[in-house]
Amino acid sequence: MGEYQQSLDCMNEAVNLSKKIKIDAVMPGREYAVSCVNEIAKKLNLPRLGDTAAKCLTNKFELRKKGEEIGIPQPLYQKISSLTELESAKMQFPYVLKPSNRQASVGVVKVKKTSEIKETWNKTINASEKGVLVTDRSFNWEYQIEEFLEGYEISVETFVRKGEVVFQNVTNKITTSSDYFVELGHTVPATINEETRERLIELKKYLAKGLEVSDGILHSEWIVTKEGPKLIECAGRAPGDNITDLISEAYHFNFFEAYLSILIGKDDTDITHHAKFWAAIRFFNPGSGELKYVKGLDFLKKLPNIIKYDISVEPGQKLSEITSSWDRIGFYMVQGDSVNEVEEIIKKIEKNIQFKLV
């Protein structure tokens, strides 16, 4: 085992392992592994994202600079290194304060007025990644502020092979309506007008080219404003939140088999380009308080359209406001022949499942 987060120590482990067994591909499982995976793949002469992409897709400020350079529509932004810099920033309220090099919406908070600045800064710099393995090592966290954009959120999932885009999917998103930006649901494929979809696809191809992506996945998030789509973030690894399962169910091909085929340099990847079904995931959001009971989970077991579900709370457990992805307590996934069928199933589930909090 070797360190990989803000470190290349694990590269020696991978190289030594490659002397004992043949390594065909290297895949990042987390955001923090993207840079190191790129370096390992380069060392072993395997298909990889590429140096420019790895740099920009692990640091939101670097992504902003590259986006500005290549002409991708995006919010105004500014690097922030201290509370003093934040207090003197000229960004118009409301704006968004976020870490530049963390994952899963950790520490991303809206700032609405001057009196909130100090409290928000403390929330962001002290944000923790609950429910994941966190090392005791010290890290160099960076921060930035960005213009708050009005609109609806979309993500675009893209496969790139040998510098060419070979698959694109557009996903609808639902996020919390609080000062935090935590995702509560996704639907694949997105139900948006064709003009917006084509614009997103065009911008994503342009982004992939500008980032000099060679082989891998780009998972990007956009806000569709009155002026059109603007880039929020982009990652160089598989999307989380079971979006990979939604794509597999909707398009009827195995997402990770296709991803691996690209990473081993296989040209005949079996990818379906048009969705045959609709699939959606929704995360439970019962609110804050002590959980007394949950009613209706048996209803999920009886539904034929349920792909899977999970819930990780018990009576007596205290629930808090959802401030990052790690605060979510569970989800359910459904599939249907149409988006209307999926939405009707979701309505039934929401009606039949009840959380009692005190």
Question: Do 257 and 314 share a domain, yes or no?
Answer: no
Whether 249 contacts 255, CB under 8 Å: no
Last residue of a domain, one of 89, 121, 148: 148
Neighbours of 130 (CB within 10 A): 14
* Model pTM score: 0.92
- CATH of residue 183's domain is 3.30.470.20
Burial of 52 (0-12, 13-18, 19+ CB in 10 A): middle
pLDDT in tens, 113-172: 999 999 999 999 987 776 555 566 667 789 999 999 999 999 999 999 999 999 999 999
Q: 22 lies in a domain?
A: no
The domain total for the chain is 3
Question: Do 274 and 285 share a domain, yes or no?
Answer: no
Q: Which domain, by its residues, includes 87?
A: 76-130+138-148
pLDDT in tens, 330-345: 999 999 999 999 999 9
Distance of CA 180 to the CA centre of its chain: 15
Question: Do 216 and 262 share a domain, yes or no?
Answer: yes
Q: How would you classify the pairing of strands 152-161 and 318-319?
A: unpaired
Q: 45 lies in a domain?
A: no
pLDDT in tens, 44-70: 999 999 999 999 999 999 999 999 999
Question: Do 159 and 272 share a domain, yes or no?
Answer: yes
Helix (H) or strand (E) holding 309: strand 306-311
Tokens in use for 205?
């191809």
Determine the pLDDT at residue 233.
95
